[in-house]
Chain A
């Protein structure tokens, strides 16, 4: 277990606003563990994830990837190689098929697989999307199916860090358990760092560390 991601006194305010959504946050994220972040709606969970995934930069403080500041490394490369993100609103290419979404993401990440399609079909199958569904456009998939495609896309390039924003919100308990098993196995067997924002008790149940965001501050829950 090594620290792969750290928050070092991070504050954040949205452009054009003065109020800090995130306030002097410090925390370490290690490989091999599952983290969950909880908090009220509007607390700043998604905002924190956007900083951790290199989509946005902290107003104050530093985010370290290993020992390097995220401000100093190429964030495009960071996003495409080292981190996988499951967005709260999925952010899939709606006009493309599920498969195309996965394959394109793999291409952007320069995945080494020769047969990306076969790999993508297999990956989708693992999280319950069959071939027929995989060949449909995202627009023609149910919310839960879309969520699973988003998860598959985040996993497709085998990132060291997986960041997921309410990844199971639209799933039935059975599927949720399947997904959580995958996450847990990734952390424990493949030494990944998994960070999940959630409201679900079932998700916090598998977590090694639970953080709560309250009034812009990040605190670890005991338990």
Chain B
């Protein structure tokens, strides 16, 4: 065991974990134009172009500072996996852009293959809405950041960039929120760049809670420019820059029963579900509430 050394805290060194959405349904559908993009050229982007923009962005990140570290994680529909880590290359790989690019693409191919096989193994019965496992890749990213914190000589400034394309997977709510909160606790901002057709409620919250940047580029063919001008800024520089901020996020809750926005309501003490009126039983977790709440109006009616 090495004796504990004081780590070098550096403002300049960034650790950027980039999560890319490798949802086959989304990319294939978007390309075939069935997804209903009216303005096809700017509403969607072919996967190849997406990849090239992203790889160019990764390269420019490593060029910004030699102690920057970039990690790429792919988010599939059956699995998530590490694709690339600039830190493991040492110094020799950093200069050769083409090598990096071809390695990323090769590993991505392997990943897609593996993801496909996994799907067959599990017998993908689900046909309709297949969402990418964002919660999984967020967790991988957070774990990786923790590992970097605990090893190496430099303590870099960490952040996560989530390049999401496919719509949110509501079934991952709890897992994603947990990941967001742990990112908040470990002070890791989650930047979000939505390249899909619709905004992501998850990422909006993630960026809001962790203090990251949320952006849905209106001009997708200029994806690289967005990445380079908004998401390349390190955390130190963000103090002095004016980055795009959502015009205000409405996080008011709506009730689970009618989905209408409420200011005041009943909250299940077990699972925190929200209801607009008192229920005997929680529809989410099945807890039974036996206590009838004290309503001041009814109480005064009982009197006299």
Do A and B bind? no
